Structure 1
Amino acid sequence: MSHTTPREDVDVFGPDSILRRLVNEARWGLAVARATLLEAAYPQIGAALMENSTFLTHPWRRLRNTTMSSRRILDPDPRVRDREAARLNRLHARMSGTSSQGLPYDATDPEARAWVVATLFESTVTMCRLSGDALDATAMRRLYDEHRTFLALIDGTSDRLPATLPEFWSYYDDVIEHRLQNNEAVSVILYQLFANVPAPPVLRGHPALWAAGRAVAGPMATAITIASLPEAFSRRVALPDLPGARTLMRSAYLSAALATRYLPESWTRVDFFMELLDPSSESAGPWGAVRRQAGKAAALVRLLLPAPGEDDQAVRSADRFFAEVLDQTGDGYLRWPDLAAMAREIATRLNLGEQEEERLFQAYATWWRELQTGLDSDGDGRVNRDEYAAAAACLPSTGLIKIADVLFDVTDVDDDEKIDTEEYCDLFRTAFHRDLTGSGDNYTRSAFVRQFVSFMTGQQHSNAYTELFS
């Protein structure tokens, strides 16, 4: 059956959707991690990741946004699906260019998009098989139809994927054999991401504990991922055959399956996992109910006020500010992709429409032109941290004020020229839910603009903006 339009006579994403069920399970993260590596080996995708993505510097934020986007694209309401598909298309349309190795890339390339969906399907099938829950022929065909419909939603057609499963496996093997490469993105994911992943919010205050845990978990995650990959791919990119890796991999998948089968359902969902990682979450899970009342006042204080102590004196390490906030892609420089990543994060959190999103990106583009004019003396399209620290506070703030104005407008949803506590929490939430409510000071436009400009020029610290961009 061929799906060529975003709408179907029969809703394959109905209550019995296999994909919708799996997306909400924490164990699906195993499939996503595996699929991401196979995607990165596709030349265009690998180049786009290295030039534009923040997955290396902000993986927890990427995890949250990917989960939110998946839920929207699989929502029972077709209007929610179409809105998210349009947002993804706008986001990807802004990701094109030429990599540092001279490879042209375009995130809207139909073949590359088809490969992304193909890796998700094959990795999901593999996850079920390795977990001891292998799909039968009927379920596998249904899951494949769901993935083709997913592709049709974002690309307008599913014709880039074969119509039948036998044809799909031939297509999949052919791409692995002739298209994939052992590129920089593959190496970064395997040997840097797992080894250097920053602490999740719950452990940011315990760097020694996180470093010790990561020293053990990082190599294990690498071994599990490598052992789960198709043998043809491992041969093509010359991945090592690590001793004991297959046993470790099977144990990990079986443990995830047993947890899903025997633990309470609420404990094995993505929401619960993200809530454990991020104590600022206001979800309604087992831990959220305990924290809700005790943490509400403290959370509001953290959101609405600058950090205490030295930060109140507007003292901030320029190096730390540059690394945590400005250098979104982690390459050591401030470039347009870093500013675009900030705009994407705001647009994703607020689920902005096309016109609002365009205003936000144009405001960031104005600021980037100011930075280039004032700081990029050699015209190489990037600014280093020393250049920024030395002169950013002295630059005209026209671009930053424009960003703040747009940000105020899109956050002030009731158009009363004030940002109340609920609107502020909508922007600065750190997990999946928006139910953080309570009384608090209203922000006028001038106060909002003043705080944003002071933060973005490194003059004043704010926990809220740091959490938003880091």
Structure 2
Amino acid sequence: MFGPGSQFHALFNDPRWALAMIRATVLEAAHPQIGAALIENSTFVVHPWRRLSNTFMSLRRMFGADEQVRQREAARLNRMHARLRGTDARERPYDAMDPAVRAWVVATMFESAVTMCRLSGEPLDQARMEQLYAEFQAFLATMEGDASHLPPTLDEFWPYYDRVVAEELENTEAMRIILYKLFDHLPAPPLLNGLPALWATGRAVAGPVIGAITVASLPEPFRRRAGLPEIAGVPTLMQGAYLAAGLARFLPEGWIQADTIAEMVTLSPDSDDPRARTISALRDQMKRAGALIRLITPLPAEPEPEPQPAAGGTARRSAEEFFADVLDQTGDGYLDWPDLAAMARELSGRLDLDEPEETRLYDAYADWWRELQTALDADGDGRVSAHEYAAAVPSLAGPALIRVAEVLFDVTDKDGNQRIDADEYRALFRTGFHRDAPGADATYSRSAFVGDFLSFMAGRRRTTAYDPLLAQA
């Protein structure tokens, strides 16, 4: 069911999988419970590349051959989903642990994989389709303990799928953002931050095309009920896109690895990973080519990229920038508990924390939220606006934030020797020590770690360690 030899393993590195996952995400977001959870808790608007990398990492763990890794990841996902519950704008409850909702997520991945093969002219035969369905049932059973909320057979799956599409899906805000806003405003991945004009040009062309292709691939009954536009010629474009993406599977083995591509896209420019240096060199060549083109043709000048600190250095950012880049993780213009929970979730995932360390980190962030709410929520609406934050010009280094720093040090210091060594540092920051970051013994002391964390969070300083962790997309 899992690992090499499975149907999913063969599809995971197929370039068509990217189009299929966009489609599956839209169908997930159209479910009212999932749409509400995404709007209120997800970082997909502000930090899409981080979300992409984490999703690929989770899928790789869940469908890998190592049973222990799979069970550990399932437990982590269950703890994460257990924290995602509330009510939507229409006062309807949502719960990410609802078995029927989780079954729908798995159903969209399976159906989108089948659809991607059909649209690209290589439909799955009955045996392969049944095998793939059994694998997704096993995936759900790993998290739920059983797969009873998915139909037991493939023949029973299709009526179930059609019923949910016809009766339960809605034109949700989360679905509209993914289709029409996410790609139009998608920030550059970290390694392309220095090429704003090139990225903006490519995004302006690709964003609407990807959105139109995704809409055309959705089930027709849902398109009609949701009022999604049908544009002449797009179905042909959609099929061409799937066919073109499918041709990449004939490249030599190892050239297309989904998880490797996701990691490369999200690498920080100052990372010491050899792949980052290679792509940074390519980016420099593209900059030179762009400068030559601007000399020849009277194109508008590229906007100046924001200042970046030298290795180990710092640069100031305004209160407004800090609020948008760091505090407002969900991108709704306010600071509230889901934003700080998103920070705890990202840190827990990076460090692969188990209980009770994960709960300690969440509890520390919850205490910090209560402290912030007391100090900054001037109008008492239960959240902190950008104006409230900027007007107060607060010093955030209170006791609760210091506690967050202390707990983060403890969970990063895996061996408990009160020093963070090179391997522990890399687990958190995904890069090695900068020359002037650690002490003379090439480790990071508790006081230095806590001081740097507080300097970033309270002093609003850009740093080469924490910006890729909490600020970059």
- Choose the corresponding residue for 1:211, options 183, 190, 200: 200
- Say if 2:454 is the partner of 1:453: yes
Please state whether the residue corresponding to 2:316 is helix, strand or coil. Answer: coil
CA gap of 1:406–1:26, structure 2 versus 1, over 3 A, is farther
User: Residue 258 of structure 1: CA displacement?
Assistant: 0.5
Q: What is residue 108 of structure 1 aligned with on the other side? A: 97
Structure 2 counterpart of 1:307, one-letter code = P
1:333 counterpart residue number: 334
Measure, in 1, the Cα distance between the counterparts of 2:234 and 2:278.
39
Residue of structure 1 in register with 2:386 after alignment: 385
Q: CA deviation at 1:270?
A: 1.1
Q: Is there any run of 5+ residues in structure 2 with no aligned partner, and where?
A: 283-307
- 1:251 maps to which residue? 240
| CA shift in 2, pair 1:250/1:294, >3 Å | closer
Aligned length, in residue pairs? 441
Q: 1:319 corresponds to which residue?
A: 320
Cα distance change of structure 1 residues 290 and 456 upon mapping to structure 2, 3 Å threshold: closer
- Amino acid of the structure 1 residue aligned with 2:88: S
Instruction: Report the residue type matching 2:60 in the other structure.
Output: R
What SS is found at the alignment partner of 2:36?
Answer: helix
Asked if 1 retains the 8 angstrom alpha-carbon contact of 2:269 and 2:280, the reply is no
Letter in 2 for 1:354: E
Maintained 8 Å contact 2:184/2:208: yes
Change (3 A) 1:356 1:317: same
d(CA) in 2 for partners of 1:387, 1:280: 31
Give the deviation of 1:242 after TM superposition.
Answer: 1.2
Q: Pick closer, same or farther for the CA change 1:146–1:334 going to 2, 3 Å.
A: same
- Once residues 400 and 467 of structure 2 are traced to their aligned partners in structure 1, the CA distance between those partners, rounded to angstroms, is 20
CA deviation vs aligned residue, 1:382-438 (integer Å, no higher than 9, x gap): 111232234364356111111111111111112221112332121112xxxx7x589
Return the TM-score normalized by structure 2: 0.88
Segment drifting more, 324-333 vs 238-247: 238-247
Q: Distance in 1 between matches of 2:269 and 2:77?
A: 25
Over the matched positions of the two proteins, sequence identity in percent amounts to 57
Residue 256 of structure 2: aligned partner: 268
Cα separation, partners in 2 of 1:406 and 1:207, compared to 1, 3 Å: same
Counterpart Cα distance in 1 of 2:427 and 2:136? 31
- Return the letter of the residue paired with 2:5: D
- Sort the Cα spacing of 1:142 and 1:422 in 2 relative to 1 into closer, same or farther, 3 A: same
Q: Is the 8 A contact 1:271 1:283 kept in 2?
A: no
Contact 2:7–2:132, Cα closer than 8 Å, also in 1: yes
User: Which amino acid in structure 2 is aligned with residue 267 of structure 1?
Assistant: W
CA contact (8 A) 1:275 1:281 kept: no
Q: Which residue of 2 aligns with 1:6?
A: none
Q: Is the CA contact 2:140–2:147 (under 8 Å) kept in the aligned structure 1?
A: yes
- Residue of structure 1 aligned with 2:189, choices 200, 220, 240: 200
Quick check: 1:374–1:395 contact (8 Å CA) kept in 2?
Answer: no
AA partner of residue 327 (structure 1): D
Q: 1:410 to 1:337 in 2, by over 3 A?
A: same
Go from structure 1 to structure 2 and tell me whether the alpha carbon gap of 1:202 and 1:461 turns closer, same or farther (over 3 Å shift): closer
**1:49-95: per-residue Cα shift (whole Å, max 9, x none)?**
11111111111100000000011111212111111101000000000
| Aligned mates of 2:263, 2:218 — CA distance in 1 | 29
1:462: how far off? 1.1
Instruction: Show the counterpart of 2:67.
Output: 78
The answer to whether the aligner puts 1:307 opposite 2:309 as a matched pair is: yes
Corresponding residue of 2:345: 344
Secondary structure of the corresponding residue to residue 97 of structure 1: strand
Query: Is 1:49 equivalent to 2:51 in the alignment?
Result: no
Distance 2:396 2:409 in 1: 22
What is the alpha-carbon distance in structure 1 between the residues aligned to residue 72 and residue 36 of structure 2?
A: 27
Letter of the 1:350 partner, please give it.
L
**Aligned mates of 2:392, 2:386 — CA distance in 1:** 10
The equivalent of 1:288 in structure 2 is: 275
Listed one character per residue, the Cα deviations across residues 86-136 of structure 1 (whole Å, up to 9, x for unaligned) are 100000000001123322111101111110000000000011111222111
* 2:305 paired residue number: none
Letter in 2 for 1:318: A
Partners of 1:51 and 1:84 lie apart in 2 by 23
Contact between 2:15 and 2:248, CA under 8 Å: does it hold in 1? no
Q: Identify which of 190, 206, 210 aligns with 1:221.
A: 210
For residues 194-249 of structure 1, what are the alpha-carbon distances to aligned partners after superposition, in whole Å with 9 as ceiling and x for unaligned? 11111111211111111111110111111110111111221121111112211111
Counterpart-to-counterpart distance in 2, 1:271 and 1:186: 25
Residue of structure 1 equivalent to 2:29: 40
User: Is contact 1:132-1:254 (8 Å) kept?
Assistant: yes
Q: What does residue 129 of structure 1 align with? A: 118
- 1:370 counterpart = 2:371: yes
DSSP-derived class of the 2:94 partner: strand
* Cα root mean square deviation, aligned: 2.6
Structure 1, unpaired ranges of 5+: 1-11, 296-305
Taking the aligned partners of 2:213 and 2:280, their CA distance within structure 1 comes to 40
* Partners of 2:340 and 2:277 in 1: CA distance: 38
TM-aligned CA distance change 1:74 to 1:130, over 3 Å: same
Aligned counterpart, 2:429: 428
